[in-house]
């Protein structure tokens, strides 16, 4: 995202936040118990801390940030109240932290919101896509070249053949038939040394 788009996005989010804050019925805040006010204050503090912990991303000459905690946080307060929101924040925080540590090790992936179809429904989903200008992005490879790289690849988490096998198995469990990936898995199984593929 270039600086102009990033500035426009942040400005738009701030305007929307102000509009929603103005539309909110604040008369009920005075009716909250001391524990609820304490929870709401803690929640606001957590929101500020989470925004400060946003992931900074720089790929090539482009930089930006990713924070997916702000909007779900306030939506959750409005829908479920402060106590449930604190639990949601903790659970979401652990999941987001895990994904960031797993997927953003070398910054070859960029966090992105996409439209996905799940069970016949269209939903918004947070995912990671390859940064095409990253040094580790291979681009489109021939089947032979992909197979060669998979057979020789070994990372921190183990051999690439194992990663391929796990990916194909998980896609099968989800009912997703990725034929090119299945074919690559079958070829890798024939060429790989003894062990699970």
pLDDT tens profile 37-77: 777 777 667 666 665 555 555 545 555 555 555 556 666 66
- Segment 67-96 mean pLDDT: 66
Q: ∠161-126-73 over CA atoms, to 5°? A: 140
In angstroms, the CA 30 to CA 41 distance is 14
On whether the pTM is more than 0.75, the answer is: no
The answer on pLDDT for 1 being more than 50 is: no
Which tokens is 72 given?
A: 């779900």
Length, in residues, of the chain: 197
């Amino acid at each position: 995202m270039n600086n102009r788009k990033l500035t426009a996005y942040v400005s738009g989010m701030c305007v929307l936040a102000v509009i929603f804050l103005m539309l909110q019925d604040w008369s009920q805040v005075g009716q909250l118990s001391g524990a609820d006010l304490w929870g709401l204050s803690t929640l606001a503090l957590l929101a500020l801390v989470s925004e400060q912990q946003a992931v900074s991303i720089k790929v090539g000459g482009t930089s930006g940030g990713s924070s997916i905690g702000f909007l779900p946080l306030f939506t959750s307060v409005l829908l479920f109240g402060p106590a449930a929101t604190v639990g949601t924040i903790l659970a979401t925080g652990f999941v987001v932290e895990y994904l960031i540590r797993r997927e953003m090790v070398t910054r070859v992936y960029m966090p992105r919101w996409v439209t996905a179809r799940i069970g016949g429904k269209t939903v918004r989903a947070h995912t990671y896509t390859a940064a095409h200008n990253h040094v580790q992005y291979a681009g489109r490879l021939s089947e032979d070249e992909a197979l060669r790289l998979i057979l020789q690849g070994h990372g921190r988490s183990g051999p690439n053949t194992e990663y391929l096998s796990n990916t194909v198995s998980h896609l099968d469990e989800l009912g997703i038939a990725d034929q090119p990936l299945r074919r690559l898995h079958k070829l890798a199984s024939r060429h790989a040394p003894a062990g699970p593929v």
